[in-house]
Chain A
Amino acid sequence: MTRGSKISRALDVRALRRCLLVFTTPIALAAWVGATVGTAQSANFLSTMTRYPESSGEALYDAICQGCHMADAKGSTGAGSYPALAADSKLEAAGYALLVVVQGQKAMPSFGYALSDEQIAAVVNYVRTHFDNDYKDEVTVADVEAARR
């Protein structure tokens, strides 16, 4: 992906925010800019903010996942590591991938609050069929609904 297209994608985020206007409630904003209290991570804050605008699996990966798992999905290591998603045998179990995206895992925050069922299915299907992964059984919106329960 070129730099220019990534920036324009970021500007699309801004355009979306123009439509939605509501960033957050003052109380939740305070929680985020300073001490995170109680339910700061709950839907209370972010559901009123916005949702990620991207719809394709690739665009969602580029906007969200690659922040930690990197553009090549090979992860990265410092004092700790972000695991590689490339050639990842754990992804064979589609339900596992769905749960991690919906609920988070250890230090990884949940993304279920900010993505629709369609988006979650798209990004999981994308990762499971790219980066040297070749799992052809697609997850469906119904699978995502089940994972949210």
Chain B
Amino acid sequence: MYQAMTSLGHAADSTYVGPIELPGDPKGASILILGAGLAGMVAALELRKAGYKVKVLEYQKRAGGRNWTLRGGDSYVELGGARQDCAFDEGLYINPGPWRIPFHHRALLDYCKRLGVRLEPFIQLNFNSYLHASTAFGGKPQRFRHVLADYHGRVTELLAKAVNADRLDDEVSAQDKEVLLASLRAWGTLDRDYSYRPGYFSSEVRGYEKAPGGGVDGAPLPSTPLAFEDVLSSRLWRHLSLPLQHDFQHTMFQPVGGMDMIGKAFFREVGDVIEFGAKVTAIRQNENGVTVTYVSDGAEGVRQASADWCLCTIPLSILSQIELDVGAPMRAAIDAVPYAASLKIGLQFKRRFWEEDEAIYGGISYTDLPIAQISYPSTDYHKPGKGVLLGAYSFGLPATEFTSMTPAERVALAVENGAQLHPQYREEFENGIAVAWHRVPWTLGCFGLWNTATRAAHYQNLCAIDGRIVLAGEHASYVNAWQEGAILSSLDAITRLHKRVVTGK
């Protein structure tokens, strides 16, 4: 199969080889799945189909896990007790967790297809969005296309100078030299003399000072590039390569109506086997099976569930605190993975000013302010009425600092930051909702942070089947923080587990 995929040019993009096949009879074996996120629900769907008796325990009152969408009317209570009531208008939302799907996340896309989840484009790269450095260009945000054109233009100009001065003769043959110069001219939009300057060539990429128009006054005026030293010292160039990276290359997708359409689609398939409001406190195993103790937030109090096998998708941030009968290697692996800080803030405005005033349709602006990113909705362009944008998406230190604020403080800071890119914020802002992932009661963090050393020491031990228990989730993958990682991990875990069940090995 892998060979066939490779010959079609598919396999290099993904390790997914199509719908899972679980041949052989599990002879009525039962499995307890912990967690109703994507990893857990993929396993429930596929194992039930393969003949297992399946039960899922979920801490929350909803399925989907980090596959999550907040809409008007939703309320969210974070650790520490702060409650936020989302006041977005009908049809407006943010995805606090995953929000975009690369074209090569084939497992997730395949489930979207099989479960009838409608997709639409997610705009990652918008040449008209802003790049902003608070100390550069007087704090004025620059259009992505200006920084792109001017960086490429000046760098290719420098390179062409070096080639023309015979400085690269050791590296480039005389024959290749001409081709290289032609390519530099084309790529950098250089003039015939290989200079990057205000003119029609450069304006074809960076846009015109006065755009080409119609009729008597239709003649355009070329635009003037930014000073190269300013482009360099602003460091705005660091944002140029992101949309070229494989994880962010177009085409990217989002489900129509919110990311949780995926979780809801899985829930339609396996909702009947999920018990909600179950807080797992202990996972015990012996040679005969697995017993899980949990506190039900119903009237029942402490309960137990038993099965022949257990697939545990509980985030390691929580699993590391649960009594668990596994060997020292898996225990050490569970304890070895810290969880990342991350923050998202959705902001509602009275109108879609980014479209009306600035012709920004989807995409992301980047800034060195704590909010790090502003992302504009990829859908419903020109829709009259209010609009919601993603007013912050940060990691690391600023996300940690945001986490330490109250939700109202986070929203206020996001508005203050964002107004430096869009002064309209001050007039148009209405309300916001902030999710800091370390405060999320059912994950205590955003995603598992591996490094080279912890991978080498612990990753295999985390993934190995321990007696009757196997783990799955984005943390048990190399596609961390992505839904694809959760699904690929789950498919791998149940494939190995099923083999053990039917062959005894």
Q: Interface of A with B (CB < 8 Å)?
A: 3, 6-7, 10-11, 13-14, 17-19, 21-26, 29-30, 32-42, 45-46, 49-50, 52, 62-68, 70-71, 76-82, 104, 106-110, 114
Contacts and interface: CB of A to CB of B under 8 A. Distances in A.
A131 to B, nearest CB: 15
Interface of B: 59, 79-80, 133-136, 234-235, 238-242, 245, 247-248, 279-280, 314, 316-318, 320-322, 335, 337-341, 368-370, 372-373, 393, 395-398, 400-406, 408-409, 412-413, 416-417, 436, 438-445, 447-452, 455, 478-482, 485
Contacts, number: 187
Contacts of B235: 21-23
A43 B402 CA distance: 21
Contacts of A34: 245, 247-248, 481-482
A65 to B, nearest CB: 8
Given A29-B239, A52-B397, 11 more contacts: A18-B368, A23-B238, A24-B238, A34-B247, A35-B485, A36-B481, A42-B451, A49-B396, A67-B403, A79-B442, A109-B339
Contacts of A80: 317-318, 320-322, 444
21 contacts: A6-B406, A23-B368, A23-B372, A26-B238, A29-B239, A33-B393, A34-B248, A34-B482, A35-B482, A39-B452, A49-B397, A50-B397, A67-B436, A67-B438, A68-B444, A70-B79, A77-B79, A79-B443, A80-B320, A107-B320, A110-B338
Chain B at the A interface: SS class: loop
Contact of B404 (A30, A45, A62, A82): A62
Ranked nearest first, the 3 interchain pairs of A and B with the lowest CB-CB distance are: A78-B441, A67-B403, A80-B318
Contact of B397 (A6, A18, A46, A107): A46
Nearest to B406: A3
B338 A66 contact: no
Contacts of A30: 241-242, 245, 247-248
Contacts of B234: 21
A21 B236 CA distance: 10
Given A14-B417, A39-B451, A79 B318 contact: yes
A114 B397 contact: yes
A81 B321 contact: yes
B340 A109 contact: yes
Contacts of B80: 70-71, 76
